[in-house]
Amino acid sequence: MIMRSPKTLHRFANPARFMRLSSRALPWCLVMSFAFLLAGLYLGLFVAPPDYQQGESARIMFVHVPAAWLALLIYGVMAVASATALVWRHPLADLIAKSCAPIGAAFTIVALVTGSLWGKPMWGTWWVWDARLTSVLILLFLYLGYMALWQALENRETASKAAAILAIIGVINLPIIKFSVDWWNTLHQPSSVVKLSGSTIHSSMLWPLLIMAAGFLMFFFVVLILKVQREIIASKVRANQYLSSTHSHESSPPADRDE
């Protein structure tokens, strides 16, 4: 039995309302994204001091760390949207979840690549089967698997349900990624930004890092809005094509029969 959708969710289930509100928010998100990214890159590359141990190579963290944060955050958004679509049949939640997958996969790839670039001079190798690295690689496979289900199944309702179930099951990987450095003895350094005792990163490095994360977040909103709008337009086109084909079939004259 389908649970009744809450009024708050029902209000935002209208694609026309989403198109109107998102079109207003899009320019602001775009401007903030460029502003934060430019400021973060300038502060990270030219203002923040080099690390006393890692030197200049530590500057890659201003891209690597925000990309890793967004990879986790976007999967969480995708899983919540998938659950909402699965339980309440929320049409926009389904489109949001589908649109999140390629964006999250891209951020995950950026995190893995930049991590490898940092690991080569620090660890002497491009890759190790570290608990953190392996669990992030699994996150990428979850994103790819989600997208593959949408492509492999022709029936959209079946594809939506299968992909939603995979997204929800995959949530178990998020705490593994977060706490892997605490649960196992890994090469990856432990958390230094988000800690109950307070951040251990100096403010000269912390602020550029947070500003870059804000820029990445705004960029995610920009791409998400554009992709959801595209999905809504594509859904309307498919619906119009279906109606047109149905109407032409009903209005066509019956075939002549031999008497």
Domain harbouring 220, CATH code: 1.20.120
Hey, what are 239's tokens?
A: 């619906």
Residue 1 lies in a domain: no
Q: Judge whether residue 223 has pLDDT over 60.
A: yes
Summarised one tens digit per residue, pLDDT across range 180-205 is 877 766 666 666 565 544 556 778 88
Residue of higher predicted confidence among 81 and 254: 81
Residue 147 lies in a domain: yes
Summarised one tens digit per residue, pLDDT across range 107-142 is 999 999 999 988 888 778 888 888 889 999 999 999
Q: Judge whether residue 214 has pLDDT over 60.
A: yes
Residue 196 lies in a domain: no
Residue 192 lies in a domain: no
Q: What is the tally of structural domains in the chain?
A: 1
Burial of 215 (C-beta count, 10 Å sphere; 0-12/13-18/19+)? buried
Torsion angle (degrees, nearest 10) of CA 152, 153, 159, 162: -70
Residue 215 lies in a domain: yes
Mean pLDDT of the chain: 85
Which domain range does residue 105 map to?
24-181+207-236
Residue of higher predicted confidence among 32 and 4: 32
Residue 99 lies in a domain: yes
Summarised one tens digit per residue, pLDDT across range 18-51 is 899 999 999 999 999 999 999 999 999 999 888 7
Residue 69 lies in a domain: yes
Distance CA 98, CA 150 (A): 8
